[in-house]
Structure 1
Amino acid sequence: MTHYVDSEVGRLGTVLLHRPGPELARLTPRNNDSLLFDGIPWVARAQEEHDAFAAALREHGVEVLYIGTLLAEALAVPDARAELTEWALREPRLGETLRRRVADHLAYLDPAGLADVLIAGLAHEELRTSSERPGGLVYALMGRHDFVLDPLPNLLFTRDSSFWIRDHAGVTSLAMRARRRETNLTDTIYRYHPRFAGTRFVYGSELEHLEGGDVLLLAPGVVAVGVGERTTPAGAERLGRQVFATGLAHTLLVVPIAQERATMHLDTVCTMVDVDAVLMYPNVADSLAAYTVVAGPDGEPQVDGPAPFLRAAADAMDLDSLRVIDTGLHPITAEREQWDDGNNTLAIAPRLCVAYERNVETNAKLERAGIEVVRIAGSELGSGRGGPRCMSCPLVREPLPTSTLLASVPAAETVLGEVAPTGLPPAVPGGRRLSAD
């Protein structure tokens, strides 16, 4: 199976989702902050909303894959099972005695059961101990509602743990401790599931912090990376080196964003809805800046800027300018809808996107700009601070043909100039994982 993504808006063919499950039911007022949720979601309703999201994608011809299913299938491979079990047991707070008990517990599970535990976690009371099989001091000092292995409620947001640039996968390096095991699961799927056999990697979880919500494929060969709460400048630089070395991109735009909960990733303030149009939070539209990075003659990244993001992006994309659709007219409306992931849309095709129905003003502005909006409910899904883009990792998008790049748009919104088609050399062959050097 060939997986290929070279833009944010090419027609979506296959997407990776995670249907929320028992891991959401693990959230309580005691732990939701540490597990990065702003509220306690109603699990059954969150599942209904997610099922409707998946159904909307299927209605538009998108193949939907689920992490839980792929993980269980990958864990049927002995090496995959051994690696993931070892990763889970590396948790330093377990101690030696408890680590042995957990290893025994995991060893008895079938692949589907092991996948469930690695996603939903293992609670103190779910681990069977006895005088012959003690849990040790660490287990004895745990509270009865503590977790031996923490749940992964943020696995719902599949965009963050991996991304694709052309036919290469990027397994990310997540900044928050509560999320780091997510990349182990994704990495295992890409390396051991038969569907992904032969996958080449452009990034790995052992590298500097970089999260998928900060990576936008503005056009073939042009990648934007947000630097803020989750992605570090070193992570952005490392990605630049990797994509230049493989010929996957010719330009990297590094975009500093505020280190705040409301703007944790670049895609919380900016997503693409057409080949020449971005949906942006108006409070940052004029102030967002970008550093343009290209490969120098010696292969070293060369940095220029900063310049206004919209100008730098248009130049890198060979556009006269970008169309900007902002989230709401009134400042309070804009702030509310940005917080409710109004900017976080998922493009199914040029001028066709999925958005939360609650962001009424933003969706109306999209439609006035000629963008068709597929509305989905998100009252429970949004409690983890993520919208349709956050909840989806595209695996296959149709490459954008020249005719699409030059398509006309509504006259009132048109500022698109001529587009010079971007050609890239084929990616170099090589091993599965690129080293940091």
Structure 2
Amino acid sequence: MIPPLPDAPVMGATSEVGPLRTVMLHRPGPELRRLTPRNNDQLLFDGVPWVARAQEEHDAFAAALTERGVEVLYLDQLLTEILSFPSARAELIGAAVDDPRLGATLQRAATTHLAWLSPEDLSATLIAGLAHDELRGGRGLAYEVMQRGDFVVPPLPNLLFTRDSSVWVADEVAVTSLAMPARHRESTITAAVYTHHPRFAGVEQLYSARLEHLEGGDVLLLAAGVVAVGVGERTTPGGAERLARRLFARGLAHTVLVVPIAQQRATMHLDTIATMVDVDAMVMYPAVADSLMAWTVTAPEGVDDDADAVELTVTGPEPFVVAAAAAMGIDRLRVIDTGLDPVTAEREQWDDGNNTLALAPRLAVAYERNTVTNEALETAGIEVLRIAGSELGSGRGGPRCMSCPVARDPL
């Protein structure tokens, strides 16, 4: 049973750089051991990571946060705690077997198997998956034609990247709609945690997995009331529009900048090419610094609380840094000049050099391997906490991708 909370914790975020108080992480576990050269592409990893080393790297990342006073919540622990509630169990077991590959007979067998598991074992299975030869009482045509190592319930190795399945805007949380089939169930787990865990009692969810594709890695909180949304491989223009309407209707933002990015794996999210490191500064991939454009979306004051009825005004496009500065009410948005030659810039962008996590203004966590980018950040006055990421990075994600800020102090 989950112990009651003595006081409701303060939650929410209005920027990328306000002092970080609480963050949600997921320590990689057995789900990474499911990756093989045969399935890693389908499961969105570029290689087969050394799991023990990935765990060591993640533990060091979490330690760097706690040493700076950040409370770390672990998603798998939150999941285990809610699985003592019958409604949460039924919801998540149903989502796990809701797969047209299985057929009715195998779905019933898998449901029975999962229903008998303890909260701890069920949590582990929902994340690490359930293979054909692990299923008790398997039967049915689909079961018979499966190979021994095929998954009845696929693993979720990308749960490591907690930023993607939810993002807080002010005191509400958007549970996102993940684009890739291998990740759909992540949003189901995240939504269940926010819905059922007492830690999040009363929190409003302003988006859901049933809506247009929108991923947290594409959402940057540039300043209070100013949200940038990248549209490309993972987030659709329709998702950006839906989010904008809901933000305006709930008074959570006054401006949304919609930023088209290349539809390719190297730039799958906006935060793979740009992240905030100070109240008026960001590190940005040099190859796009001069070409990144933005459409500015606003709504009239006093809009109706019916999000679908909100009339949007769209202007642009214009250079992103110009549009961002105007929306933020500052003279200019500083782009830190990393001074990289084209080859080094491409290498360090691929290795998530621009995917930093700000713990406070001018204090950021970054992968140690991106030496030139990190030196440029320090020259610009940004303190860099370097962490190892040789194995964590095999899923194409850096410190920002691996963290969902639950609470930041306002600036």
Q: TM-score range by the shorter chain?
A: over 0.9
1-side partners of 2:172 and 2:266: how far apart? 30
Letter in 2 for 1:163: V
- 2:330 matches 1:319: yes
Which residue matches 2:174?
A: 170
Distance in 2 separating the partners of 1:273 and 1:189: 29
Match runs of 1:188-199 below 5 Å:
188-199=192-203
TM-score by length of 1: 0.90
Name 1:42's counterpart in structure 2.
Answer: 50
1:408-428 CA deviation, whole Å, 9 max, x = no partner? Answer: xxxxxxxxxxxxxxxxxxxxx
Q: Which residue of 1 aligns with 2:246?
A: 242
Do the aligned residues in 2 keep the contact of 1:122 with 1:151 (CA within 8 Å)?
yes
| Number of residues of Structure 1 aligned to a counterpart in Structure 2 | 396
Pick one of 363, 368, 372 that aligns with 2:374: 363
Structure 2 counterpart of 1:361, one-letter code = V
- Of 287, 291, 301, 1:287 maps to 291
Amino acid at match of 1:84: L
For the residue of structure 2 that corresponds to 1:337, the secondary structure is helix
Q: Distance in 1 between matches of 2:36 and 2:167?
A: 30
Equivalent AA in structure 2 for residue 194 of structure 1: P
1:115 equivalent to 2:123? Answer yes
Residue 394 (structure 1) aligned with residue 402 (structure 2): no
Deviations 1:90-137 (A, max 9, x none): 1111101111110110011011111111100001110123xxxx5111
Where 1:93 maps in the other structure, the secondary structure is: coil
Aligned match of 2:139 in 132, 135, 138? 135
Shift of 1:296: 3.2
Q: Distance in 2 between matches of 1:174 and 1:318?
A: 32
The answer as to whether partners of 1:10 and 1:399 remain within 8 angstroms in 2 is yes
What does residue 429 of structure 1 align with? none
CA contact (8 A) 1:49 1:377 kept: yes
For 1:138, what is the secondary structure of its paired residue? helix
* Of 275, 278, 298, the match for 1:274: 278
Map 1:56-71; keep pairs closer than 5 Å: 56-71=64-79
Deviation at 1:78, TM superposition (A): 1.1
Match of 2:360 among 341, 349, 359: 349
Q: Could you list the per-position Cα deviations for residues 252-287 of structure 1 after superposition, in whole angstroms to 9, with x for gaps in the alignment?
A: 000000001000000000000000001000000000
Contact 1:327 1:342 (8 Å CA) reproduced: no
For residues 381-434 of structure 1, give each alpha carbon's deviation from its aligned partner in whole angstroms, at most 9, with x where no partner exists. Answer: 00000000000000000000xxxxxxxxxxxxxxxxxxxxxxxxxxxxxxxxxx
Q: Residue 157 of structure 2 aligns with which residue?
A: 153
Deviation of 1:325 after TM superposition, in Å, equals: 1.2
2:232 aligned residue (221, 228, 235): 228
Q: Deviations over 1:58-90 (max 9, x none)?
A: 000000000000000011111111111111121
Identity %: 70
Residue 21 (structure 1) shift: 0.1
Alignment-derived partner of residue 23 in structure 1: 31
CA contact (8 A) 1:281 1:326 kept: no
* Whole-angstrom distance in 2 between the partners of 1:334 and 1:364: 13
Deviations, residues 342-376 of structure 1 (Å, cap 9, x unaligned): 00000000000000000000000000000000000
Q: Distance in 2 between matches of 1:189 and 1:83?
A: 11
Partners of 1:194 and 1:250 lie apart in 2 by 31
Q: Structure 1, residues 21-72: CA drift from partner, whole Å, max 9, x if none?
A: 0000000000000000000000000000000000000000000000000000
When normalised by structure 2's length, the TM-score is: 0.95
Match of 2:396 in 1: 385
- State the Cα distance separating 1:327 from its structure 2 match: 4.2
For residues 328-355 of structure 1, what are the alpha-carbon distances to aligned partners after superposition, in whole Å with 9 as ceiling and x for unaligned?
A: 4211111100000000000000000000
Q: For the residues of structure 2 that align with 1:148 and 1:89, how far apart are their CA atoms?
A: 8
Match of 1:417?
A: none
Deviation at 1:178, TM superposition (A): 0.1
- The aligned residue for residue 416 of structure 1 is none
Q: Distance in 2 between matches of 1:4 and 1:174?
A: 21
Report SS of the residue matched to 2:35.
coil
- Counterpart code for 1:393: C
Alignment of 1:196-235 (within 5 A): 196-235=200-239
2:102 is paired with a residue of what secondary structure? helix
Please state how far the C-alpha of 1:145 moved relative to its aligned partner: 1.1
Query: Matches of 2:10 and 2:335 in 1, distance apart?
Result: 33
Check the 8 A contact 1:290/1:309 in 2, yes or no: yes
> Unaligned 5+ residue runs, structure 2?
1-8, 304-309
> What amino acid is aligned across from residue 191 of structure 1 in structure 2?
T
Q: Matched residues in 2 for 1:159 and 1:265: separation?
A: 11
**How many Å separate the matches in 1 of 2:260 and 2:110?**
42
Q: Match of 1:31, as an amino acid?
A: N
Q: Is the 8 A contact 1:71 1:185 kept in 2?
A: yes
| Match in the other structure for 1:184 | 188
Q: Aligned match of 2:101 in 93, 106, 114?
A: 93
Q: CA RMSD in A?
A: 0.8
AA matched with 1:68: D
Specify whether residues 326 and 36 from structure 1 end up closer, same or farther in structure 2 by C-alpha distance, changes over 3 A only. farther
Q: Is 269-278 or 328-337 further displaced after alignment?
A: 328-337
